[in-house]
Amino acid sequence: MINRHIEANPQINRYYLEQHLMQLTREQISSNLFKQWGIPDEVCTAIRYQNEPGYNGEHSTLSRLLYISSRMLRQYDLNDAPFEPIPESLMAELNINQDKAEMALEKVLESKEDLQEMATYVKRQKLNFLNITPMIFLLLSLTLRKAG
């Protein structure tokens, strides 16, 4: 049902559709699941607020990096984040230079085959929850943190 609404309304951010239809988002569900698995609070919080660039609470730097990373990766269809510009004020708050961020993205994309090989290895080890997109997402976030 939710996917039908998302497909029928591609101009609307799926985050808002999920909130409207379910009164929660997949990020909230994921964050709670990760907490149950014992994933560190920094990661859970960042995942929970990754689509809220105005979030200023604990671990907001990482959530904002995820926001920027997801929008940058969307340009290459590597996730389902909305096509929307990254606010310049957010880049400035995190002290991230747009040119350096683009260079970081290029480096990450150059590593795509190596990341895919790592994901394949992990799958062979029966850890099927891992795939290439989250690895690229995380690597870009970490690279942006260093590029800032």
pLDDT at 40: 86
Tell me, what's the pLDDT at 131?
Answer: 46
Q: Which two tokens stand for residue 80?
A: 């389902």
Q: Which residue ranges form the domains of the chain, and what is each CATH number?
A: 2-147 (1.10.3210.10)
How far apart are the C-alpha atoms of 93 and 95, rounded to whole Å? 5
- This prediction's pTM: 0.70
What angle, rounded to 10 degrees, do the helices at 60-74 and 98-110 form?
70
Instruction: Tell which wins on pLDDT, 14 or 66.
Output: 66
